[in-house]
């Protein structure tokens, strides 16, 4: 009698345990961080080469967030920074590497849209979340890739804002140059479409090659059209050469305008010298001044996307903290879909402002500001325009 009365109870208990395990199983799989091992946060940015100042700035922003946090549920945090070359092949290689690392919770990156696009397919295959602080291309959030988020903006916002500003200023005859990248070309083309829809006229659309140094042939081709505005979609390494060579090519009355890729004091203002004065560049609202002071005390002058990288890293760490289940042996179990969903549900006041994501991974309420390179008291700097 006693054995018969205990057996159903044991069976019921085992069923409850199995049922509980089934309920807690994550449909995308579970990441296990053994006791004493670090929670890894990977990062993809260009750490060497022409755009390294932007990539190192991103790395510094993420590093600052990790150092301030210290630990996650008793585990050390390790930032694993990889050089993505601002391009597809190295970004894909990094994606394969980190997505097969059993200690990586997610990735901050990639720096450039041309890297994020193919790498996001790898991340989606393995269901490893990625949050880019700087990949702004329109199509990145239109591909139904559930693991992709960004703390920057969608370029459809940047293109529209720049076009509205240009037309309001009376610059309705424009020419465009882009660097043939997913980022630069799509942005320049969308800017041109917006200008045309607002009553402006697009006089030409020319592509250049990243890494080239002499842009006089394309400038000579554009000059006879006498554009009021020359818009460049791309990065500062080429943008600063274009703005300098414009002066020599006879564009004395043509205004230069570009995107966040040129929002860097070191690579655009300092490298451009007097030629950069009067140029217009679009970027986000300036971050919290108190944070900027802390950052620059530690790393020196910030460049572009360190604030967005800092916020992205905080979002990922908060999602790990929210979803990780600490086990009796000290290990952590992190459901991959639960982690992704926690990122998607972010409601945070970051140092770049309020951060929430729409169903596609875009940051809602993004604000793009137009800056002019001003010269006052012998110093050149980005000055926000009233618009």
| Domain match, 221 and 279 both | yes
8 in a structural domain? no
- Residue 18: pLDDT above 60? no
- pLDDT, residue 99, reads 98
Which helix (H) or strand (E) segment is 192 a member of? Answer: helix 182-197
CA distance 73 to 80: 19
- pLDDT, residue 20, reads 37
Q: Which of 154, 109, 138 is nearest to 305 (CA)?
A: 109
Mean pLDDT of 335-343: 98
295 in a structural domain? no
- Residue 60: pLDDT above 50? yes
344 in a structural domain? yes
| Domain match, 142 and 169 both | no
340 in a structural domain? yes
Tell me which residue range forms the domain holding 165. Answer: 156-284+368-384
Angle at 199 between CA 198 and CA 203, to 5 degrees: 110
Mean pLDDT of 153-173: 96
SS3 content of the chain, % helix, strand, coil (to 5): 45, 25, 30
CA distance 217 to 222: 9
- Residue 19: pLDDT above 50? no
| Domain match, 259 and 339 both | no
CA distance 332 to 230: 53
Q: Is 42 helix (H, G, I), strand (E, B) or coil?
A: strand
- pLDDT, residue 24, reads 61
Q: Which of 99, 30, 106, 100 is nearest to 332 (CA)?
A: 30
Mean pLDDT of 130-158: 96
| Domain match, 186 and 319 both | no
Mean pLDDT of 288-305: 96
Contacts of 326 (CB under 8 A, 6+ apart): 73, 74, 332
| Domain match, 87 and 203 both | no
297 in a structural domain? no
| Domain match, 216 and 251 both | yes
- pLDDT, residue 247, reads 84
- pLDDT, residue 117, reads 96
Contacts of 205 (CB under 8 A, 6+ apart): 175, 176, 177, 178, 188, 189, 192
How would you class 269 by CB atoms within 10 Å of its CB: exposed for 0-12, middle for 13-18, buried for 19 or more?
buried
The sheet carrying 30-33 orders its strands as 30-33, 332-335, 325-326
Q: Give the model confidence (pLDDT) of 97-127 as tens digits.
A: 999 999 999 999 999 999 999 999 999 999 9
Lookup result for tokens 């890293």 = 313
The sheet carrying 39-45 orders its strands as 71-72, 75-83, 39-45, 104-108, 130-132, 148-150
Q: Return the structure tokens found at 221.
A: 């081709």
| Domain match, 233 and 378 both | yes
Lookup result for tokens 């967005």 = 308
Distance of CA 129 to the CA centre of its chain: 14
| Domain match, 255 and 166 both | yes
- pLDDT, residue 6, reads 38
Contacts of 63 (CB under 8 A, 6+ apart): 79, 81
Provide the angle, in degrees to the nearest 10, between the axes of the packed helices 182-197 and 155-168.
40
168 in a structural domain? yes
25 in a structural domain? no
- pLDDT, residue 119, reads 98
3 in a structural domain? no
Average pLDDT, the chain: 93
Which helix (H) or strand (E) segment is 182 a member of? Answer: helix 182-197
- pLDDT, residue 387, reads 85
| Domain match, 62 and 103 both | yes
CA distance 265 to 380: 9
| Domain match, 98 and 76 both | yes
Q: What DSSP assignment string belongs to 366-382?
A: --EEEEEEEEETTEEEE
> How many CA atoms lie within 13 Å of 265's alpha carbon, on the beta-carbon side?
12
In CATH, what number is assigned to the domain containing residue 334?
A: 3.40.50.2300
CA distance 77 to 320: 11
CA distance 344 to 144: 14
Q: Which of 111, 162, 163 is nearest to 140 (CA)?
A: 111
Say how many domains are in the chain. Answer: 2
């Amino acid at each position: 009698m006693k054995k018969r009365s205990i057996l159903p109870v044991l069976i019921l208990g085992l069923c409850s345990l199995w049922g509980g395990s089934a309920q807690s199983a994550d449909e995308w799989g579970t990441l296990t961080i053994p006791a004493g091992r670090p929670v890894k946060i990977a990062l993809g940015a260009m750490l060497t080469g022409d755009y390294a100042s932007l990539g190192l700035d991103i790395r510094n922003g993420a590093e600052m967030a990790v150092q301030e946090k210290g630990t996650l549920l008793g585990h050390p945090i390790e930032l694993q920074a990889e050089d993505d070359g601002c391009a597809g092949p190295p970004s894909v290689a990094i994606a394969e590497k980190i997505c097969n690392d059993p200690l990586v919770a997610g990735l901050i990156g990639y720096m450039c849209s041309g890297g994020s696009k193919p790498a996001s397919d790898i991340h989606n295959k393995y269901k490893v979340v990625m949050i880019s602080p700087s990949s702004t291309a329109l199509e990145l959030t239109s591909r139904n890739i559930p693991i992709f988020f960004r703390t920057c903006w969608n370029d459809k916002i940047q293109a529209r804002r720049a076009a509205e500003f240009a037309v309001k200023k009376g610059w309705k005859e424009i020419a465009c140059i882009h660097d043939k990248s997913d980022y630069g070309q799509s942005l320049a083309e969308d800017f041109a479409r917006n200008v045309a829809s607002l009553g402006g006229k697009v006089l030409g659309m020319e592509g250049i090659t990243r890494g080239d140094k002499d842009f006089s042939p394309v400038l000579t081709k554009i000059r006879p059209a006498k554009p009021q505005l020359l818009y460049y979609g791309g990065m500062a390494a080429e943008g600063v050469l274009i703005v300098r060579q414009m002066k020599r090519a006879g564009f004395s009355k043509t205004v230069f305008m570009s995107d966040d890729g040129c929002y860097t004091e070191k690579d655009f203002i300092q490298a451009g010298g007097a030629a950069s004065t009067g140029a217009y560049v679009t970027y986000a609202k300036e971050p919290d001044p108190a944070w900027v002071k802390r950052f620059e005390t530690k790393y020196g002058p910030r460049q572009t996307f360190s604030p967005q990288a800092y916020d992205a890293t905080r979002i990922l760490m908060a999602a790990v903290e929210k979803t990780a289940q600490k086990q009796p042996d000290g290990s952590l179990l992190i459901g991959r879909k639960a982690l992704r969903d926690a990122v998607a549900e972010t409601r945070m006041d970051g140092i770049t402002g309020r951060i929430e994501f729409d169903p596609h991974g875009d940051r809602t309420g993004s604000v793009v500001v137009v800056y002019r390179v001003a010269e006052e008291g012998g110093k050149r700097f980005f000055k926000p325009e009233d618009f």
